[in-house]
Structure 1
Amino acid sequence: MDLRIFTEPQQGASYDDQVRLAKAAEAAGYSAFFRSDHIMRMGDSSGLPGPTDAWITLAGIARETSTIRLGTLVTAATFRHPSMLAISVAQVDRMSGGRVDFGLGSGWYADEHTAYGLDLPPLKKRFDIYAEQLAILTGLWETPEGETFSFDGEHYKLVDAPALPKPAQSPRPPIVLGGGGKKRTPELAARYADEFNIPFSPRSFAVEQFARVDTAAEAAGRDPKSIIHSAALVLAVGRDEAELERRAKAIGREVSELRQNGLAGTVAEAVDTIGKWREETGVTRLYLQVLDMTDLDHIELVASEVAPQLAQ
């Protein structure tokens, strides 16, 4: 099982906080450090010190790490023009030496769009924009050097774009898509995704959605096994009940709820839960949502006591 760290910096984390956690995750042996792409805290407090831009932050972390992969769950299509996003991601991929995994979503959190004056169209239009962005991003990255890329869509029009710079990875960084849509989401995954992620959902739903993605891949003439299946779960693991209670309290959650909906409990319980995810859903990768970014001992505990048992 491939374990990755996933953070929510909009809840109150500086760039330095994120670098510290990314370095700790790299040292502990996690394969990747991912972050959300939000610009306002969810909840009733201020979210100090304020938001950090996902791709500027990952660019900085790229230069301060050497092996850990970097990415987003997920970049919001409503925040950036796809042409400029393609340039930013390609540059971070080069700055990291080819360590970017690119997650893209349609955008959803209404309050942050209202607060910062960003447009959040109705769902159908938003999904149409999302689909066009995927076509543009992959088109720009995959266009051979010396050739140009044009696109004539309903929402975006590009004419003879030089399609530069190219990412370090050829033809492009791996693309992570996800979500619960029953028709268009699996179809887009079949066309573009190298990985499909189920965020914070029951295993029963993951089984159903992965089946839809597999069916869509087969219909598109693609081997379903070429798409990695992954899930995201909130993390709260303790050596004993007291440590578990402390970690749950630090993120404002109840232990009973976390045990039911996340990767939570003692080390033995965490190993058991991961085993159930692997056996019931076929996932080979988990994103562990770390909400208390100051608790570096938390990720060290999982790396040293949970991860070795998974190999067995």
Structure 2
Amino acid sequence: MSDHKFRFGVVATPEGGGEQWAATAKRVEELGYSTLLMPDGLQLLSPFPSLAVAACATTTLRVGTFVLASPLRAPRAAAWEGHSLSVLTGGRFDFGIGSGRPEAQRFAEALGRPWGSAGERLQAVAESIEQLRELDGDRHTPVLVAAGGPKALALAARTADIVTLAAPPLSGRDHHAGMVAQLRDAAGDRDLEIAINLFVVGDEIPPWTRHFIGADHATLVANDSQTLLRGTPAEMADELQRRRDAYGVSYISVNGAFFEQFAPVVELLTGS
């Protein structure tokens, strides 16, 4: 279903200062990952300077936001930051954006920004991408859109280079296949790279991850959750190939808690 080759990213945040973060970026690159991705929120450091440090510490590793919450910045401001990082990294930056998880509302309020309706937040995503394209000129910063509902999938189909499937944590492969079918119908001839994020690798789930996704390991298994991957490296690689055959996903990001554990799968599949 997909002509895209496998590539992999790590979703992580800085801990312990700039030197430790730079060392993490170097290790992610050394293990063969394509991208180091960073979430957005006032409980974290700002993603743009953090990703600039990571890019400066590496030579081939791409960096990206995963994903900006559109209510936290005016569209022109988000585009300005993204374009600047694209230029400064020599084109190694991916502009990831979405309409924001519910908990981002308090961040918007703290910044004095309107939260807005779902439609207004999605419109801000579209405007941020338009502003980025205007600033880029002849440059093309890859855009990743996190999309779940029909309207977000339609916007991603029109504007994104990469679409990460923002499905509920307990969603199985049939739900993901349905999302991709909607996406491809709306995209027409546009070639999109389809991504998913793995919250859990193996048979243990960190307490903070369990709290974040609201489910224990057994529940994830029972629901064939696509945010979980387990087994030996060969078994996990086989399962990812089945998912690519089923709904075209080829870009896999993984929770930073598991990037060392997941590295053998990266070695088996990258570029295949």
Q: TM-score range by the shorter chain?
A: 0.7 to 0.9
Unaligned runs of 5+ in 1: 41-50, 143-169, 238-243, 293-297
1:278 & 1:191 partners in 2: Cα distance? 22
Partner residue, 1:235? 200
Cα distance, 1:173 vs structure 2: 0.8
Matched-pair contact (CA < 8 Å) for 1:103–1:176:
yes
2:58 is the counterpart of 1:65: yes
Match of 1:83 among 76, 79, 98: 76
TM-score by length of 1: 0.72
CA drift at 1:252 = 5.3
In the alignment, which of 127, 132, 138 is matched to residue 127 of structure 2? 132
Say what the alpha-carbon RMSD is for the aligned residues.
2.5
- Secondary structure, counterpart of 1:29 in structure 2: coil
The change in CA–CA distance for 1:19 and 1:204 in structure 2 (over 3 A counts) is farther
Count of residue pairs brought into register by the alignment = 252
What are structure 2's unaligned runs of at least 5 residues? 1-5, 211-215
Residue 309 of structure 1 aligns with which residue?
Answer: 268
Measured after TM superposition, the shift of residue 249 of structure 1 is 4.0
Trace 1:53-202 onto structure 2 (pairs within 5 A). 53-108=46-101, 109-142=104-137, 170-182=138-150, 184-199=151-166, 200=169, 201-202=171-172
Match for 2:262: what amino acid? V
Match in the other structure for 2:248: 282
Among 183, 186, 192, the alignment partner of 1:216 is 186
Deviation at 1:13, TM superposition (A): 6.7
Change (3 A) 1:92 1:272: same
Are residues 13 and 36 of structure 1, via their aligned partners in 2, closer, same or farther at CA, if it must alter by over 3 Å? farther
The structural deviation recorded for 1:236 is 2.2
User: Counterpart of 2:9?
Assistant: 4
Higher alpha-carbon Rg: 1
Q: Hey, what's the Cα distance between the residues in 2 that align with 1:189 and 1:284?
A: 17
Give the deviation of 1:209 after TM superposition: 1.3
- 2:8 corresponds to which letter in structure 1? L
Contact in 2 for aligned 1:15/1:52 (Cα 8 Å): no
| Identity fraction in percent | 26
After TM superposition, the score normalised by the length of structure 2 is 0.81
Tell me how far apart the structure 1 counterparts of residues 172 and 18 of structure 2 sit (CA, whole Å): 32
